[in-house]
């Protein structure tokens, strides 16, 4: 059986991926590949512990590297993404949860002292926001809405796996109203990428992630924010909060929209890269 060494395998993997994906991402993926395929840890790489892969492992390795070179996201390959310390099932029917969105969970958790809150997540996708809130805030009850039946199946599966107190239902927020529920909070990470921004995006997003969950028309980039702000007033209780993830270009416009629809205490929050990423307001 042929002898392999982790450092060489790691370096060879980075060299294969680097031309398409860049050095930093290639290194991050190489660590994952060695762990998933060969059960090689970072410590094994440091000490250069030899290993003897079998033919099936070699075949899996070659196939995985090819799919990554073709820009397929590793989260879709392994059907798994980590978010806020939890592991979520994902596939091409839902967006891959973003690390920057984890800050939204923390901001909401710290926003006030919640007392058995009823919350809704509009455009729930994989259910990562709804489930994380349900698991992080004591006695929170979540309902997640999405236009995609396939996305809702994934969200329901994730809630069941994680034991999150979250239910899910089909809703087209642009065409339908929210049910009147006396909610303490409504949160949404709606589509907010303008069509003109496509040229700046990576292939692994454009070619694999669902466009329905990403893009808005150039002539109406705040389409979903306007619909949610208007319809949230039916479901939020007085003093209830509305939270969004936003396009960094539209922080000021989002604050003006809150004012237009009669919300108060409007605020924009920056992400870890110092970009305007979230916004909130309260229904008085």
Q: Check pLDDT > 90 for residue 195.
A: no
Question: What pLDDT is recorded for position 198?
Answer: 87
**20 domain residue, yes or no:** yes
Q: Based on the domain organization, do 33 and 121 belong to the same domain?
A: no
Q: Do 43 and 167 reside in the same domain of the chain?
A: no
Q: What is the pLDDT of residue 267?
A: 98
Domain that holds residue 112: 94-283
- What is the DSSP secondary-structure string of 84-146? TTEEE---TTSPPPPGGGHHHHHHHHHHS--SS-EEEEES-TTSHHHHHHHHHSTT-EEEEEE
CATH number of the domain bearing residue 258 = 3.40.50.150
Name the region of 172 (left: φ>0; alpha: ψ -120 to 50; beta: rest): beta
Asked if residue 177 and residue 62 are part of one domain, the reply reads: no
Query: What's the whole-number mean pLDDT along residues 128-140?
Result: 98
Tokens describing residue 174: 């642009």
Let me know whether 264 and 201 are in one domain: yes
Q: Summarize pLDDT for 21-44 with one digit per residue, the tens.
A: 999 999 999 999 999 999 999 999
- For residue range 82-108, what is the model confidence (pLDDT) as tens digits? 999 999 999 999 999 999 999 999 999
Q: Which of 62, 119, 89 is nearest to 236 (CA)?
A: 119
Query: pLDDT value at position 4?
Result: 83
Residue 63: strand, helix, or coil: helix
- The answer to whether residue 105 sits within a structural domain is yes
- In a domain, residue 78? The reply is no
- 53: helix, strand or coil: coil
Q: In total, how many domains does the chain have? A: 2
Same domain, 165 and 123: yes
Domain shared by 107 and 207, yes or no: yes
The pLDDT score that the predictor gives to residue 206 is 87
């Amino acid at each position: 059986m042929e002898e392999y060494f982790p450092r060489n395998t790691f370096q060879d993997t980075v060299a294969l991926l680097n031309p398409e994906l860049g050095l930093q991402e290639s290194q991050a993926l190489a660590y994952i590949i060695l762990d998933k395929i060969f059960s090689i840890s970072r410590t094994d790489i440091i000490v250069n512990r030899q290993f003897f892969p079998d033919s099936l492992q070699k075949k899996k390795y070659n196939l995985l590297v090819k799919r990554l070179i073709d820009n397929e996201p590793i989260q879709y390959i392994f059907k798994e993404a980590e978010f806020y310390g939890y592991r979520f099932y994902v596939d091409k029917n839902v967006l891959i949860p973003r690390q920057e969105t984890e800050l939204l969970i923390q901001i909401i958790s710290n926003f006030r002292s919640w007392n058995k809150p009823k919350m809704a997540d509009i455009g729930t996708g994989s259910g990562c926001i709804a489930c994380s809130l349900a698991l992080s805030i004591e006695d929170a009850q979540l309902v997640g809405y999405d236009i995609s039946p396939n996305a809702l199946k994934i969200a329901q599966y994730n809630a069941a796996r994680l034991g999150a107190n979250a239910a899910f239902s089909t809703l087209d927020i642009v065409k339908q109203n929210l049910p009147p529920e006396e909610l303490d909070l409504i949160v949404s990470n709606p589509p907010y990428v303008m069509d003109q921004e496509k040229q700046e995006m990576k292939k692994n997003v454009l070619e694999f992630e669902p466009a329905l969950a990403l893009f808005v028309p150039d002539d109406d980039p705040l389409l979903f924010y306007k619909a949610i702000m208007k319809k949230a007033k039916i479901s939020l209780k007085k003093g209830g909060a509305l939270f969004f993830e936003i396009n960094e270009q539209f922080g000021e416009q989002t604050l003006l929209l809150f004012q237009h629809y009669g919300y108060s205490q409007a605020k924009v929050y920056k992400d870890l890269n110092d970009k305007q990423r979230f916004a909130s307001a309260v229904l008085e």
